[in-house]
C-alpha cells in the first residue's frame, strides 16, 4: 500500500506536464494552420540560425550539404 500512495504525486506531475505539452502543441498547430507572417518569419529565422550554427561548428555538416547538392544537382 505504501508503494501505491507514493506513486500518486508522480502521476499528477506527469499529467500536468502532459497538459502543458498538449497546450503548446495545440498552439503550434493552430499557428501552422492559420499562418501569421511574423510566426513564419520567426520559424524561418530560427531554422536559418540553427543551420548556420551547425555549419560553423560541425565539420561534417558542410560536407554533407555538398554531397546532397552533388546528388540533387542544380
Section 14-35 average pLDDT: 79
Percent of the chain scored above 90 by pLDDT?
5
- Taking CA atoms, 44 is separated from 53, 54, 64, in Å, by 14, 15, 21
Q: How far apart are CA 30 and CA 60, in angstroms?
A: 36
Supply the pLDDT for residue 37.
82
Residue 24 near residue 18 (C-beta atoms within 8 A): no
> Taking 90 as the threshold, does the pLDDT of residue 16 lie above it?
no
- Predicted confidence at residue 49, as pLDDT, reads 94
Picking from 5-14, 33-42, 47-56, which range would have the lowest pLDDT averaged per residue?
Answer: 5-14
Amino acid at each position: 500500500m505504501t508503494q501505491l500512495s507514493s506513486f500518486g504525486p508522480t502521476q499528477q506531475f506527469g499529467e500536468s506536464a502532459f497538459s502543458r505539452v498538449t497546450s503548446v502543441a495545440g498552439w503550434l498547430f493552430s499557428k501552422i494552420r492559420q499562418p501569421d507572417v511574423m510566426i513564419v518569419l520567426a520559424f524561418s529565422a530560427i531554422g536559418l540560425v540553427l543551420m548556420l550554427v551547425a555549419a560553423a561548428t560541425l565539420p561534417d555538416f558542410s560536407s554533407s550539404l555538398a554531397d546532397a547538392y552533388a546528388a540533387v544537382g542544380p
